[in-house]
Amino acid sequence: MTDDSSIDYDLLREAVVKSLRPIGKMTARGLSLAASNQRNPDLVRNFLKNGTKPAIASVAGLCDAMGIEFVLMLKDYTGPIPAPSSWLVVNSDVEAGAWREQTEWGPSDWYEIQIEPSDFGRLHTFGAVVKGRSMEKVLPPGTILRCEDIAFGLTSFNDGDYAIVQRTRHGLTELTCKRLALQPDGTWMLYAESYQPEFQDPIALGSPPDPEFKTWFSLPDDDVVSIRAIVIDAYLPLKRRRTRPVN
């Protein structure tokens, strides 16, 4: 039977510190409430500052909130190491034909889903939910896209990439997902992946004004298009994943 003496509290402390801002994404209060089912907002503070060792149930709650397997906190555990997981903040949606003044959700609507980490680190990522049927052949409605913000990471994109495309016209913005296609003459096209006739026509982007960054294009009728992000993973709605609010 597991008791307090079985817990590696030094290892737990290290994991908690790494999960908190500015290293991680959680606040001490948010982690405390998530770990204690909203009952103890001071759990983390008491552990880190006062040296109060959490009880077994609280340790399990902390591990669950951080996405860490509880068995890894046991001193004598010698079994297989479970696959790690991480959390993706979902803060927007993409939908062809939806022109809005504000494309990003308010912070109170953000949430996180538990995902498998990529083989390589990604710091500037966000999650976006697919709405509508413009990409239904490969990305059905409800799919959550893991996107890398091109402003912070990539400086270019490649033929065949799926991109988050931001299109602005007359003060309104459309945020959508499209497949990028490089043409033989060096120009670019945007394609939907849909069975619906209204999405069959590609969008001709032409050549980017800056060959190095390849991010901005201007179309007729005060229409400005930017490549905001590149999709690096997609999580289909048929697979249930743990979610939690962003604290």
Question: Do the domain assignments include residue 243?
Answer: no
Q: Which of 73, 104, 122 is the last residue of a domain?
A: 73
Rounded to whole angstroms, the Cα distance separating 188 from 175 reads 18
Q: Which residues lie below 8 Å from residue 155, measured CB to CB, with a gap of 6+?
A: 212, 213, 214
Contact 148, 124 (CB under 8 A): yes
CA-nearest of 189, 206, 172 to 97 is 172
Q: How many structural domains are present in the chain?
A: 2
Question: Do the domain assignments include residue 78?
Answer: no
Do 127 and 209 lie in a common domain?
yes
* Token pair for 166: 């931001």
Q: Which of 73, 101, 119 is the last residue of a domain?
A: 73
Please state, rounded to an integer, the average pLDDT across all residues of the chain.
83
pLDDT surpassing 80 at residue 137: yes
pLDDT in tens, 156-166: 678 999 999 98
CA Rg value for the chain = 22
CATH code, 108: 2.10.109.10
pLDDT surpassing 90 at residue 34: no
Question: Do the domain assignments include residue 245?
Answer: no
Do 45 and 158 lie in a common domain?
no
pLDDT in tens, 198-234: 999 998 877 765 555 555 555 655 677 888 889 989 9
Do 91 and 65 lie in a common domain?
no
Question: Do the domain assignments include residue 241?
Answer: no
Give the pLDDT score at 119: 46
Do 219 and 125 lie in a common domain?
yes
pLDDT surpassing 50 at residue 26: yes
Please give the backbone phi and psi of residue 163, each rounded to the nearest 5 degrees, phi first.
Answer: -125, 150
Give the pLDDT score at 81: 65
pLDDT in tens, 84-127: 667 788 999 999 989 998 877 888 898 888 887 654 445 578 89
| 0.75 surpassed by pTM | no
Do 111 and 231 lie in a common domain?
yes
Q: Which of 73, 98, 115 is the last residue of a domain?
A: 73
Question: Do the domain assignments include residue 61?
Answer: yes
Do 126 and 227 lie in a common domain?
yes
Rounded to whole angstroms, the Cα distance separating 137 from 199 reads 12
Rounded to whole angstroms, the Cα distance separating 47 from 53 reads 6
Do 123 and 192 lie in a common domain?
yes
Question: Do the domain assignments include residue 164?
Answer: yes
Do 121 and 225 lie in a common domain?
yes
Domain that holds residue 64: 4-73
Do 129 and 212 lie in a common domain?
yes
Do 97 and 44 lie in a common domain?
no
Rounded to whole angstroms, the Cα distance separating 166 from 164 reads 7
Give the pLDDT score at 149: 81
Give the pLDDT score at 211: 55
